[in-house]
Amino acid sequence: MLKHKIQFIFIFIIILSFACSEQKPGPVQKPKVIKDSTSEMSVLSVGDIMCHSTQYGYAWVEQDSFNFKPVFKYVKDFFHQKDLVTGNLETVFAGKGNGYSGFPFFNSPDQLLDALKDTGFKILFTSNNHALDQGKTGVIRTIKEIRKRGMINIGTYLSQKDRDSIRIINMKGIKLAVLAYSYGTNGVRIPSKSKYLISIIDTSSIRSDLIKTKKLNPDVIIVYFHFGKEYSRKPSKFQRKIVKFAILNGADIILASHTHTLQPVETFPLKNSKLDSGFVAYSLGNFVSNQRWRYSDGGAMLNFTIEKNFTKNKIKIKNLRFLPFWVYKGKINGKKEYAVLPLTNSSISNTYPFLNSKDLLTMEQCIFDVLDIMKKSTPKLKLLKFKYNQLVSKN
């Protein structure tokens, strides 16, 4: 009997030990929610950067010394807030040995490039009708001077290999391909053995370049065109034809200038692209020049954001905005200057106290014209709010 009791106790202990050894189920873990990983690139684009003889005359300091930095002092801080700044460089840097000159055959002091670099420019389009103003040597030296300062030129090239190399900008995980073309060179003959010097608007070349570009799998393809009827505020049939062709062959964003006047911005749907829609700015007009007449003495800066969703591999353009500005020519603190003056949320007279009554009326007219032209653009385009405090805080 005792033996049976001992066996029973032993079996009970074994059963109990197994029961105690069973692990209790842990707390139920919620599945991890993977947030979309995104990156944004802010792009600012302006039109024609010109340098007439009066401009470098105002920038002259002494002997062969020039200072163009004051021209951009009211926009410099704003430009440096952007990831990528582009503009059309409509002059040449052939060196002082060729003699400095303005229209019709430009040759500007190198210090203008220093000022553009200091202001925040990263890409300078060089495919325009003044690219060969100083011949082949002028094209080559201009390219080298731009690149020496760490900026990128697109549209003119040093060799056929250079011409055939598609410019890819990798920034913040976003891959941009950028192309540029001009309608012509003001009748200046391109050397027969150096056709690579400048990209001319030609549908077969554009198609070939875009096919090659798409094979590189960029997120966005930007194409710059230098075209249009000078001083027209509406795109021509030729402009629309070339833009349509570029879109059908893969362009996502089209920037342009040459008319020296502002033209509307339009959006368009896209197929076979990572974007669902793109836009064209038919002409961004002049950014800085000595063209003092109405519609050419100011314009608009175009600002937009490219957003990439890495999780969904989607790209979209957002925050399409424009900032009106007027180019001042006169005295500031007793010194003759040109200055790009952006519209702010304060009164013009309060923002720029050095303007006289005539200047105020002219700038107001310019801003009114910009707003009127941009009304004809896509509803997605909005006025950029530029705060007065941002302007004066560091100037």
- As a whole number of angstroms, the distance between CA 59 and CA 66 comes to 5
Q: What is the pLDDT of residue 263?
A: 97
Q: What is the pLDDT of residue 19?
A: 40
Q: What is the pLDDT of residue 271?
A: 87
How long, in residues, is the chain?
Answer: 395
- As a whole number of angstroms, the distance between CA 36 and CA 120 comes to 31
pTM of the model: 0.89
Structure tokens of 1? 């009997």
Q: Tokens 């801003």 label which residue? A: 367
Q: What is the pLDDT of residue 390?
A: 67
Q: What is the dihedral angle through the alpha carbons of 257, 260, 261, 264, rounded to the nearest 10 degrees?
A: 0
Q: What is the pLDDT of residue 148?
A: 98
- As a whole number of angstroms, the distance between CA 395 and CA 216 comes to 43
Question: What is the chain's alpha carbon radius of gyration, rounded to the nearest angstrom?
Answer: 29
Of residues 90, 77, 315, 87, the one with CA closest to residue 218: 315
Distance of CA 383 to the CA centre of its chain: 17
Sign of the Cα torsion 344, 224, 233, 355 reads positive
CATH class for the domain made up of 38-392: alpha beta
- As a whole number of angstroms, the distance between CA 1 and CA 98 comes to 124
Q: What is the pLDDT of residue 29?
A: 55
Domain ranges of the chain: 38-392
pLDDT tens track of the chain, all 395 residues? Answer: 444 444 434 434 433 443 444 444 445 455 454 556 999 999 999 999 999 999 999 999 988 899 999 999 999 999 999 999 999 999 999 999 999 999 999 999 999 999 999 999 999 999 999 999 999 999 999 999 999 999 999 999 999 999 999 999 999 999 999 999 999 999 999 999 999 999 999 999 999 999 999 999 999 999 999 999 999 999 999 999 999 999 999 999 999 999 999 999 999 999 888 898 999 999 999 999 999 999 999 999 999 999 999 998 899 999 999 999 999 999 999 999 999 999 988 889 999 999 999 999 999 999 999 999 999 899 999 999 888 776 654 44
